[in-house]
């Protein structure tokens, strides 16, 4: 699977990936990683069990319904920026 990594700053409001996926983000600092299937969702790439992020039962249900994986998004938050009013009474 192809991997693309984007840094998120507290001022970031929207991220666009090469395949056209856009993500609106809130005020935080971190990274967003996108993995896309290199073979247009046909699942032709070999993946070991450690690469899987869904259960076998869920993958089987998807297969039965004809649903193919297109991308996986992973959000890693390093620090959350306080939202106005969130710490008002602290």
Q: How many distinct structural domains can be found in the chain?
A: 1
Decide if 56 is inside a domain.
Answer: yes
Q: Is residue 85 part of a domain?
A: no
- Residue 71 domain-assigned? yes
Q: Which domain range does residue 6 map to?
A: 2-80
Residue 63 belongs to a domain: yes
Please tell me the predicted confidence (pLDDT) of residue 26.
77
- Cα separation of 5 and 75, whole Å? 10
Neighbours of 28 (CB within 10 A): 17
3-state DSSP call for residue 19?
Answer: coil
What average pLDDT score do residues 62-84 get?
81
Give a yes or no: residue 89 inside a domain.
no
Instruction: Provide mean pLDDT across the span 29-38.
Output: 85
What does the longest C-alpha to C-alpha distance in the chain come to? Answer: 54
The Cα–Cα gap between 58 and 64 comes to 10
34 located within any domain: yes
Q: What is the mean pLDDT of the chain?
A: 77
37-65, pLDDT tens digit by residue? Answer: 765 544 445 555 656 667 888 888 989 99
Structure confidence at residue 87 as a pLDDT band (50, 70, 90): very low
């Amino acid at each position: 699977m192809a991997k693309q990594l984007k840094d998120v700053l507290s001022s970031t409001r929207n991220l666009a990936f090469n395949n056209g996926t856009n993500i609106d983000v809130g005020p935080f600092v971190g990274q967003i990683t996108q993995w896309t299937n290199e073979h247009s969702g046909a699942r032709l790439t070999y993946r070991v069990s450690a690469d899987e992020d869904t259960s076998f039962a869920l993958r089987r249900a998807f297969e039965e319904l004809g649903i193919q994986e297109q991308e996986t998004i992973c959000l890693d938050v390093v620090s959350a920026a306080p939202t106005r009013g969130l710490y008002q009474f602290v």
